[in-house]
């Protein structure tokens, strides 16, 4: 392996002969090196200059290699470190690795052993750096999406709405309809951005759920109301099937609202004119029977198996259905099933990925059942408030 142009190695060894041999070999191999005679000097140099790798002697007077390594890590530096010692033992190697060394080689070393280890440690560090860079880029992109893209779209919706409401002069029915469809399209983009942002938050472990007890009927009715006009416009019958005396569910209201909205948006998108959608919310009569039909791809959160009270929320449509072999995949990010789109309405394949993360984040389970040509049903089982009331 050839050394990268600017890679710098700090050699820390109290024995000048060994330090010199290392220096000569590493410089021959194309690396740039600096030598330090002890831990104090090494730390002082590291505080001033950037290095890619430190070759650190284990046994040195005053401050041993492990202490130097600990101090390097305490300073926040992520420089790669390889330990060298004349007293090779596995325990010692474990101690070094635990303190944050990448590798370890015994002295006296052979060139055939030392140079590949140095190259490997440097390649690993480059890969880690590249990953960090990509993560930072992704975070920048996501925050760009939220501020620079979402805010102007929200402003566009506000402006169009003012015109549509006739506040700036008379608007006829046809004009109002076009303006409404512009608003709907903008809202679709906003929903897509919200899905992407929340998926990113879930993946980064930064999604904060505000789980409280809510009456599921209130949430379900509010979302259904929002979709009534869209369904009517698409000439689809949207009906509600609410159980009586629903127990409270322990959920994040915003997340559950968005889960239902995503499922309804899909149902509307994939159901042809004249079709029907039923949004249902009922207490399950038999939790074990419900649990027994959960397919293997649905991840079951801890504590779910012990739940004695579940609410079954479902969105059923009379669309074209989804091939059975795709049912598990469609909950993955950016996955869209083949041949399901009855209207070329686009989408990014993020809605169901969000639904899965959100429902599982609330301690529930979500999956889909479908029959080609007949329709699909998306089912979520949600845990009820505390342990109150068995099914
Ligand atoms: N109700 C449904 N009927 C048929 N196919 C569906 C339905 N809901 C979801 N799908 C399939 O699952 C895919 C993923 O859905 P989703 O994650 O919401 O992404 P998107 O709506 O952006 O395509 C869809 O592209 C479609 O292939
Ligand atoms: Mg969708």
Position 340 scores a pLDDT of: 53
Position 388 scores a pLDDT of: 47
Our answer on whether the CB atom of 347 is closer than 6 Å to any ligand 1 atom is yes
Tell me: the pLDDT tens digits for 151-176?
899 999 999 999 999 999 999 999 99
Name the residue with tokens 């004249």. 274
**Does residue 107 register a pLDDT over 90?**
no
Which is it for strands 211-214 and 237-242: parallel, antiparallel or unpaired? unpaired
Tell me: the pLDDT tens digits for 290-313?
788 888 888 888 778 777 889 999
Which is it for strands 375-383 and 310-317: parallel, antiparallel or unpaired? antiparallel
Q: Give the separation between CA 307 and CA 303, rounded to whole angstroms.
A: 7
- Contact assessment for residue 366 and residue 298, using Cβ atoms and an 8 Å cutoff: yes
Position 345 scores a pLDDT of: 60
Q: How far is the CA of 334 from the centre of ligand 2 (A)?
A: 10
* Contacts made by residues 325-329, CB under 8 angstroms, sequence distance 24+: 327/295, 327/297, 327/367, 327/368, 327/369, 327/370, 328/295, 328/296, 328/297
Our answer on whether the CB atom of 352 is closer than 6 Å to any ligand 1 atom is yes
- Contact assessment for residue 370 and residue 263, using Cβ atoms and an 8 Å cutoff: no
Tell me: the pLDDT tens digits for 36-77?
999 999 999 999 999 999 999 998 988 999 999 999 999 989
With vertex at residue 332, the alpha carbon angle to CA 331 and CA 336, rounded to the nearest 5 degrees, is 80
Give the residues across from 32 on adjacent strands.
Answer: 8
Alpha-helical (H) ranges within the chain are 16-28, 39-48, 65-74, 90-98, 111-144, 151-164, 173-203, 216-233, 253-269, 287-292, 351-361
Residue spans of the domains in the chain: they are 8-109, 134-203, 211-383
With vertex at residue 227, the alpha carbon angle to CA 221 and CA 233, rounded to the nearest 5 degrees, is 145
Tell me: the pLDDT tens digits for 112-128?
889 999 999 999 999 99
**Does residue 285 register a pLDDT over 80?**
no
Our answer on whether the CB atom of 270 is closer than 6 Å to any ligand 1 atom is yes
**Does residue 206 register a pLDDT over 90?**
no
Our answer on whether the CB atom of 379 is closer than 6 Å to any ligand 1 atom is no
- Contact assessment for residue 368 and residue 231, using Cβ atoms and an 8 Å cutoff: no
Peptide bond just before 261 cis, omega within 30 deg: no
Closest listed residue to residue 255, CA positions, set 384, 387, 382: 382
The matching CATH number, chosen from 3.30.310.160, 3.40.190.10, 3.50.4.10, 3.40.50.2300, for 8-109 is: 3.40.50.2300
Nearest-atom index, ligand 1, CA of 192: 22
Nearest-atom index, ligand 1, CA of 348: 22
Q: Give the separation between CA 103 and CA 98, rounded to whole angstroms.
A: 11
Our answer on whether the CB atom of 349 is closer than 6 Å to any ligand 1 atom is yes
* Percent of residues, the chain, with pLDDT higher than 70: 94
With bands split at pLDDT 50, 70 and 90, how would you rate the model's confidence at 88?
low
Could you say which ligand is closest to the alpha carbon of residue 378?
Answer: 1
Our answer on whether the CB atom of 330 is closer than 6 Å to any ligand 1 atom is yes
Tell me: the pLDDT tens digits for 319-353?
989 998 889 899 988 877 766 554 456 677 889 99
CATH T-level topology, domain 211-383: Heat Shock Protein 90 (3.30.565)
Nearest-atom index, ligand 1, CA of 265: 21
Tell me: the pLDDT tens digits for 122-152?
999 999 989 988 888 888 888 787 778 888 9
Position 148 scores a pLDDT of: 84
Position 4 scores a pLDDT of: 55
Q: Kindly state the average pLDDT of the residues 225-245.
A: 92
Could you say which ligand is closest to the alpha carbon of residue 315?
Answer: 1
Our answer on whether the CB atom of 323 is closer than 6 Å to any ligand 1 atom is no
Q: How many CA atoms within 13 Å lie on the side-chain side of 198? A: 24
Our answer on whether the CB atom of 318 is closer than 6 Å to any ligand 1 atom is no
Nearest-atom index, ligand 1, CA of 347: 22
Nearest-atom index, ligand 1, CA of 338: 27
Report pTM. 0.72
């Amino acid at each position: 392996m050839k050394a990268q142009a600017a890679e710098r190695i700090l050699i820390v060894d109290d024995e000048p002969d060994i330090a010199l041999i290392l220096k000569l070999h590493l410089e021959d191999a194309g690396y740039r090196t600096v030598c330090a005679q002890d831990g104090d000097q090494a730390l002082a140099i590291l505080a001033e200059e950037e290095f890619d790798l430190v070759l650190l002697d284990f046994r040195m007077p005053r401050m041993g290699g492990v202490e130097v390594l600990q101090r390097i890590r305490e300073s926040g530096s992520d420089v790669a470190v390889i330990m060298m010692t004349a007293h090779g033992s596995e325990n010692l190697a474990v101690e070094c690795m635990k303190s944050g060394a990448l590798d370890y080689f015994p002295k006296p070393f052979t060139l055939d052993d030392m140079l590949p280890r140095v190259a490997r440690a440097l390649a690993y560090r480059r890969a880690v750096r590249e990953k960090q860079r990509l993560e930072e880029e992704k975070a920048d992109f996501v925050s760009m999406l939220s501020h620079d893209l979402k805010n102007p779209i929200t402003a566009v919706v506000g402006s169009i709405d003012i015109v549509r409401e006739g506040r700036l002069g008379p608007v006829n029915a046809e004009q109002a309809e076009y303006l409404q469809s512009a608003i709907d399209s903008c809202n679709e983009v906003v929903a897509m951005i919200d899905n992407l942002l929340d998926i990113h938050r879930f993946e980064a472990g930064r999604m904060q759920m505000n789980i409280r007890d809510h009456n599921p009927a209130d949430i379900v009715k509010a979302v259904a109301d929002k979709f009534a006009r869209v369904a009517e416009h698409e000439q689809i019958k949207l009906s509600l099937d609410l159980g009586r005396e629903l127990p409270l569910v322990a959920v994040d209201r915003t997340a559950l609202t968005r889960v239902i909205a995503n499922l309804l948006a899909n149902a509307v998108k994939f159901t042809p004119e004249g079709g029907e959608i039923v949004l249902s919310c009922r207490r399950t009569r038999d939790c074990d029977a419900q649990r027994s039909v959960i397919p293997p791809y649905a991840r079951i959160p801890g504590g779910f198996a012990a739940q004695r009270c579940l609410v079954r929320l479902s969105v059923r449509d009379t669309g074209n259905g989804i091939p059975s072999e795709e049912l598990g995949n469609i909950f993955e990010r950016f996955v869209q099933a083949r041949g399901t789109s009855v209207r070329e309405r686009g989408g990014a394949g993020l809605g169901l990925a969000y639904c899965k993360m959100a429902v599982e984040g609330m301690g529930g389970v979500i999956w889909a059942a479908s029959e080609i040509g007949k329709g699909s049903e998306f089912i979520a089982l949600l845990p009820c408030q505390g342990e109150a009331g068995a099914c």
